[in-house]
Amino acid sequence: MGFVRGLKCRECAKTYPVEALYVCEFCFGSLEVDYDYEAIKKVISHKRIESGPNTLWRYRDLLPIDGEPTVGFYSGFTPLVKATRLADELGVRELYIKDDSVCHPTLSFKDRVVAVALSKARELGFDTVACASTGNLANAVSAHGAWAGFKRYIFIPHDLEQAKIVGTLVYAPNLITVRGNYDDVNRLCSEIAAKYHWGFVNINLRPYYAEGSKTFGFEVAEQLGWKTPDHLVCPAASGSLLVKIWKGFKEFEKLGLIGSVKTKLHCAQAQGCSPISDSILNKTDIKPVKPKTIAKSLAIGNPADGYYAKDAVSASKGSAAVVNDAEIVEGIQLLAQAEGIFTETAGGVTVASAKKLIEQGKIGKNDSVVIAITGNGLKTQEAIQGSLGQALEIGPHLKSFEEKVLAEASR
Amino acid sequence: MPITVRIPSPLQKLTQDKSEVSVSATTIGGCIQDLEKNYPGIKARICDEQGNIRRFVNIFLNEEDIRFLKKEQTSVKDGDEVSIVPAIAGG
């Protein structure tokens, strides 16, 4: 038994039934899940959550399904790593990595949203699910959809990283590469979704799908001992994750699960695709761009939740950063070498942005900071291959070891 | 050959459930005016009170976002395809 009353337009508050709808037919505003918070407040507690499964479904009272979850039984509840060495490196007192690079089963935060979207797709009676993806979502819909027995149509730009293609095809979905960038793929999928009755997780199922991202924020708050950090640095593509982390924090506050939220949310984007960060830093409207960055999972030039992300950053009194390709590569290596965590390019953007925000004094040296790491470095190896050290090759005998390895070490 | 406009689901009630309609015009702004002539009420959905295209509506001319062209002043010619697409999708 769930607590969803229906869908509600974020702009004009018109209400809609629980169906595969995503946009208000009157003002084109975003439809949001409308919960009965009074009823939730009567049942929810730290104890109830803590006695739930070690997955995102421990927050089920705040997720938009009516029956039992049917997908994602092992997803979410990823480690919040206390990053002491990186804290020293960046010059900040208290630093944590929320590490979705190890989210089950496809190693990105998209396993959260897909767990919710496919559970909802089943409730709504879909047998075919689909998505427009920059790669991580393609992996997640393909994998979870295989497990749950859905027919799957996955649409991606034609130039994605090899590992994201292999990590999709292995689950044998229908994979369609589109000659164009992600924004082209997204427009095409919006048109397909308008014509064919499929469950597009990030189009007509988007109100439900996006709620899954709240669990990233819920976990941060719970794992910090039921409080939120002074700062959270979040990468942005469509901006949805940032919006939902903020929503999650505010829901916990409203339900009395945490005290008043004082977290500043900071938006991290890559140079070459920074429409949201630019609008925050320059106090302008969101201007769409043609993406050009190695951070392909963030390469959305026309971000759906751009305005809402900007609003969330502003409500939290946070800021934004933009980092270039070299800083992204450096960010990936910094995190790997300080904390042993190998993140993808999006994570490089986030680490480099955190570094910049600390240097600029936008994050205070005595504050607590969480860096949102959303994906795994094994998927974007191309981006750093040219900037790593080389392996040392030796013969299979002691002499070669001594001559080459020890000699090298003593230099 | 007239200009084809693809209508998103939220507006199809106004176009008698048609997902594609024809208009004649010389600019994107003109297309919206012509749509309004045939399907009264549609302009108010696409544009705000000031007559600007709503921020949650994206319009494409032959696959290109008109914000990369000349917005409402973008020229159109016979045979062109215009798409009206809700902005809240993807990611």
Residue by residue, DSSP assigns B4-69 as: EEEPPGGGTTTTTT-SEEEE--SBHHHHHHHHHHHSTTHHHHHB-TTSPBPTTEEEEETTEEGGGT
Please, what is the end-to-end C-alpha distance for chain B in angstroms? Answer: 36
Are A3 and A36 within 8 A, CB to CB?
A: yes
Q: Which residues of chain A have pLDDT under 70?
A: 1
Q: Say yes or no: domain A80-105+213-387 is CATH 3.40.50.1100.
A: yes
Question: Would you call A92 exposed, middle or buried from its count of C-beta atoms within 10 A (0-12, 13-18, 19+)?
Answer: buried
Burial A55-87 (b: 16+ CB within 10 A, else e): bbbbbbbbbbbeeebbbbebbbbbebbebeebb
* Residue numbers in B near A26 (CB within 8 A): 10, 45
Specify the pLDDT at position A12. Answer: 94
A125 CB neighbour count, 10 Å cutoff:
9
Sorted by where each begins, the domain ranges of chain A are 4-73+110-209, 80-105+213-387
Residue range A186-232, pLDDT digits in tens: 999 999 998 898 999 999 999 999 999 999 999 999 999 999 999 99
Helix (H, G, I), strand (E, B) or coil at A56: helix
Cα A299 to Cα A160: distance, rounded to the nearest angstrom: 11
> Read out DSSP for A125-175?
T-SEEEEE-SSHHHHHHHHHHHHHT-EEEEEEETT--HHHHHHHHTT--EE
**How far from A216 is each of A4, A100, A211, A221, CA to CA, in Å?**
20, 9, 10, 9
Contact A203 B90 (CB under 8 A): yes
Specify the pLDDT at position A411. Answer: 77
Report, in angstroms and rounded to the nearest whole number, the Rg of chain B calculated over CA atoms.
12
User: Would you say residue B1 has pLDDT above 80?
Assistant: no
Specify the pLDDT at position A194. Answer: 86
- Closest residue on chain A to B84 (Cα): A191
Specify the pLDDT at position A348. Answer: 98
Cβ neighbours for A403, distance < 8 A, ≥ 6 positions apart: none
Cα A77 to Cα A216: distance, rounded to the nearest angstrom: 8
Are A86 and A335 within 8 A, CB to CB?
A: yes
One-letter amino acid of A366: N
A355 touches chain B (CB under 8 A): no
The closest of A364, A101, A127 to A230, measured between CA atoms, is A364
Domains A4-73+110-209 and A80-105+213-387 share a fold: yes
For chain A, helix (H) and strand (E) counts, in that order, are 16, 13
Mutation site, A16, A19, A23, A134, interface B, largest B CB count within 10 A: A23
Cα A266 to Cα A371: distance, rounded to the nearest angstrom: 10
Tell me how close the Cα of A30 comes to any Cα of chain B, in angstroms: 6
Helix (H, G, I), strand (E, B) or coil at A381: helix
- Closest residue on chain A to B57 (Cα): A28
Contact A186 B8 (CB under 8 A): no
Are A173 and A153 within 8 A, CB to CB?
A: yes
Q: Which residue has the tokens 């935060």?
A: A109
Contact A189 B89 (CB under 8 A): yes
Q: How many residues are listed for chain B in this entry?
A: 91
CATH superfamily of the domain spanning B3-86: Beta-grasp domain (3.10.20.30)
Nearest to B45 among A26, A183, A206 (CB): A26
* Residue numbers in A near B45 (CB within 8 A): 25-28
Residue range A311-335, pLDDT digits in tens: 999 999 999 999 999 999 999 999 9
Contact A202 B90 (CB under 8 A): yes
Chain B interface, Cβ < 8 Å to A: 6, 8-11, 13, 19, 45, 54-58, 60, 63, 65, 67-68, 83, 85-91
Specify the pLDDT at position A195. Answer: 86
* Residue numbers in A near B63 (CB within 8 A): 180, 184, 187
Query: Helices A214-223 and A240-254 sit at what angle, rounded to 10 degrees?
Result: 50
Question: Would you call A276 exposed, middle or buried from its count of C-beta atoms within 10 A (0-12, 13-18, 19+)?
Answer: buried
Cα A210 to Cα A22: distance, rounded to the nearest angstrom: 11
Contact B91 A26 (CB under 8 A): no
A12 touches chain B (CB under 8 A): no
Cα A75 to Cα A59: distance, rounded to the nearest angstrom: 12
A29 touches chain B (CB under 8 A): yes
The closest of A215, A189, A216, A214 to A202, measured between CA atoms, is A189
Cα A34 to Cα A6: distance, rounded to the nearest angstrom: 5
Nearest to A187 among B68, B83, B91 (CB): B83
Q: How many residues are listed for chain A in this entry?
A: 411
Cα B18 to Cα B41: distance, rounded to the nearest angstrom: 15
Specify the pLDDT at position A407. Answer: 86
Contact A187 B8 (CB under 8 A): no
CATH topology of domain A4-73+110-209: Rossmann fold (3.40.50)
A24 touches chain B (CB under 8 A): yes
